[in-house]
């Protein structure tokens, strides 16, 4: 069984990737021996995903997979976008990020609160080949958080496909329609095509 090293230590992400790439052994970059920091300074999700996958692939001489994702709000010109995790100025402060998002959308009616989550996944092989795929899931931003599930902006994101917020949805429901699942599925198809 071939191995894919994922440029992440997030157990939820690793589980999701393993479910789609069943014919591969999926391990985290830490398990594979990569411990450095990777500076994500790209202007797009694709650039950041490639930066991470290339760094791990080159350091460990392996096939590496990375994703970069975030929330894009139409009324904010696509923001927070690639800055989703540090929208408030601090990395990973979900509460402050959500508060700032609600503040920026204050007073806007529901039809002006359209948003989507986007994920780009990148795969870099040990022989230097690269491929990417993108997935999106659409919805709108609620006026107040709903549910305690998920992470990040999930309680504020009402999914058109599920008819509920990602904060209320079960993990299996969210994963079935998520931007990352769609991107991973598209990448899996591309990978099978080049191997045939």
Q: Which residues are catalytic?
A: 68
Buried b (16+ CB within 10 A) or exposed e, 25-42: ebbbbeebebeeebebeb
Q: What CA–CA distance (Å, rounded) separates 41 from 46?
A: 11
Helix (H, G, I), strand (E, B) or coil at 41: coil
- Strand ranges across the sheet with 2-6: 24-28, 2-6, 64-73, 114-124, 130-141, 157-159, 164-165
Q: Helix, strand, or coil here: 66?
A: strand
CA angle 154, 157, 163 (to 5 degrees): 110
CA end-to-end span of the chain, whole Å?
A: 16
Angle between helix 11-20 and 179-195 (nearest 10)? 40
3-state SS class at 13: helix
Q: Would you state the structure tokens that stand for residue 43, as one six-digit string?
A: 């202007």
């Amino acid at each position: 069984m071939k191995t894919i090293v994922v440029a992440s230590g997030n157990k939820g992400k690793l589980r999701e990737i393993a479910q789609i790439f069943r014919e591969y052994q999926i391990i985290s970059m830490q398990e594979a021996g990569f411990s450095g920091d990777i500076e994500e300074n790209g202007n797009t999700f694709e650039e950041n995903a490639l930066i991470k996958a290339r760094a791990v692939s080159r350091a460990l001489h392996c096939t590496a997979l990375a994703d970069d994702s975030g929330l894009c709000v139409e009324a904010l010109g696509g923001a927070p976008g690639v800055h989703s995790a540090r929208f408030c100025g601090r990395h990973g402060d979900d509460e402050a990020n959500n508060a700032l998002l609600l503040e920026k959308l204050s007073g806007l009616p529901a039809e002006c609160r359209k948003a989507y989550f986007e994920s780009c996944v990148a795969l870099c092989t040990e022989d230097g080949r690269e491929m990417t795929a993108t997935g999106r899931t659409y919805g709108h931003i609620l006026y107040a958080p709903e549910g305690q599930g998920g992470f990040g902006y999930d309680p504020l994101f009402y999914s058109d496909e599920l008819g509920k917020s990602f904060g209320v949805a079960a993990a299996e429901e969210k994963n079935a329609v998520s931007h990352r699942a769609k991107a991973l599925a598209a990448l899996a198809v591309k990978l099978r095509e080049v191997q045939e």
